[in-house]
Structure 1
Amino acid sequence: MSKHVVFDVVGTCVGYGAFFAGIEKHIGPRLREHGIPSQLFGFAWMESSEREFTFLSISERYVPYKDVFKSLFYRVLWMSGISDPRSFATDAERDAICATYSDLELREGVKETFELLRKNGFTVWCLTTGDVERVRGYFLRARVDMPMENFKSCDAGGVAKPALAAYRPLFREFKEEDEKWFAAAHYWDVSAAKKIGFKGAYCSVYEKEDCAELFGEKMDVMSDTLPEMARKIIEACGK
């Protein structure tokens, strides 16, 4: 029997600090003149992009997330209360902020988390909605071992998480008797993976409030840090 843990990447293994800092650097002072914190604008931009990305996917018009994200910049400025978004910011500023997504950094404890799991016989995988080259770069820059062959992207199948079809291809690569875990800091992500058979490990490092009552799936493991989550997965498999 083999043991596998599949991780979401952006939001789970990788934090958004560099992106929020990029907003602050390029348009933060102007945003504050309108009472808009950079982090709040960044959150609204990401969440709107994830919604449109998902809606396009489920209506069978898949568009890569990075393209959706870039397209929505001025719309989210408008929705934030900026009356003339294209006078407020430029395409060059938008593109510079988008580029900071490549500068995101691994969360504290990721290296320890992977090492704990591997020392206890687990194979670590990553399943992302982003392009593999960019996402793997986060690990390379932090000198955390993550083989290219263990990265999987929804782009390959033209479907977005949390559509169940996004999780099935990797799940089906494993044997029926294997230990198969999905780990993320998005409750929606883990709860969807559980519906196709993964055991679920949720870390509150990003969302803080899990809002578990919304999702109807009880987690097998819950933790506040990634290394704690790894230890709980190991313990659960030792029973």
Structure 2
Amino acid sequence: MTGQKHVVFDVVGTCVSFDAFYNGIDKVIGERLLARNITARSFGFTWMTAAELEFTFLSISERYKPYKEVMSALFFRTLYMMGVEDPRAFATEAERDQCAQGYSELELRPGTKDCFAKLRDAGFTVWCLTTGDTKRVRGYFERGGVDMPLENFISCDTAGVAKPALAAYRPALAQFKEEDAKWFAAAHMWDVTAAVKVGFRGAYCTVYEKESCAEIFDSELEVVEDTLPAMADKIIAASL
């Protein structure tokens, strides 16, 4: 293989887990949620998914807003959709902000450090493409003891286009030469298959979604593994 070797990672959900987010919700309003037969995990997932939906719709309609602003706005609506009839009597805006703070305290998945080390030892440059703000996202790596240079972060906030719009991936791809090995790695099937469509080679890890639901995606992925280190091994082997 001539040229340089690059792997662009999705971060939230792929390199970091959502456990701290769910645990934060549980500490703030967990008992009240359980009284209504709602777990902190189910509320957190629903809130996050609702925010991702509106974030994407705003982006598609050329009204891009940073994800954290969308997430804040969706808190009370999500409570209502889950059966809380009077959300603003159920929780305060201060409690909403406390719950959202958990999103800034996410921790690296076990294996992320090993995954990056394997790739770098094999001559790969590691990049991150994220819908989050760079400062927050870089903090995940700093707290986890993984070196991730600021210049290797690419944020959708800069381009004002959210993944999985193909335009969100093209600036990252355009940084590399035609002869380079260009991989995109993610634990979201929708993410990695969109990157493949613009020209990346795709690596998917099942650590988050467990079920790939491959039947609804059009792309053939070169690498599918259950752990991040195993995914790194396959990327290295496929790039020889």
Q: TM-score range by the shorter chain?
A: over 0.9
How far off its partner does 1:190 sit? 0.1
How far off its partner does 1:102 sit? 1.2
- Which residue of 2 is the match for residue 210 of structure 1? 212
Instruction: Deviation per CA, 1:8-45: give whole Å up to 9, x if none.
Output: 00000010011000110011111111111110110000
Aligned residue type for 1:193: A
SS state at 1:114 partner: helix
Instruction: Deviation per CA, 1:86-109: give whole Å up to 9, x if none.
Output: 000000100001111111000001
Question: Does 1:64 find its partner at 2:66?
Answer: yes
- Which residue of 2 is the match for residue 123 of structure 1? 125
**C-alpha distance in 2, partners of 1:101/1:49?**
13
4+ residue runs of structure 1 moved beyond 2 angstroms? none
1:31-42 matched pairs, under 5 angstroms: 31-42=33-44
Question: Does 1:138 find its partner at 2:140?
Answer: yes
Match of 1:186 among 185, 188, 193: 188
Instruction: Deviation per CA, 1:166-185: give whole Å up to 9, x if none.
Output: 00001011000100000000
Give unmatched runs, 5+ long, in structure 1: none
- Aligned-residue sequence identity (percent) comes to 65
The count of aligned residue pairs is 238
**C-alpha distance in 2, partners of 1:134/1:144?**
14
Instruction: Give me the CA root mean square deviation.
Output: 0.5
SS state at 1:124 partner: strand
Aligned residue type for 1:38: A
- Which residue of 1 is the match for residue 165 of structure 2? 163
- Which residue of 2 is the match for residue 5 of structure 1? 7
Give unmatched runs, 5+ long, in structure 2: none
Aligned residue type for 1:67: E
TM-score by length of 1: 0.99
**C-alpha distance in 2, partners of 1:148/1:191?**
26
Aligned residue type for 2:144: A
Aligned residue type for 1:112: D
How far off its partner does 1:207 sit? 0.3
Match of 2:203 among 201, 204, 217: 201
**C-alpha distance in 2, partners of 1:158/1:179?**
27
Question: Does 1:96 find its partner at 2:98?
Answer: yes
- Which residue of 2 is the match for residue 112 of structure 1? 114
**C-alpha distance in 1, partners of 2:135/2:22?**
22
Instruction: Deviation per CA, 1:118-166: give whole Å up to 9, x if none.
Output: 1101000000000001100011111101111100100001000000000
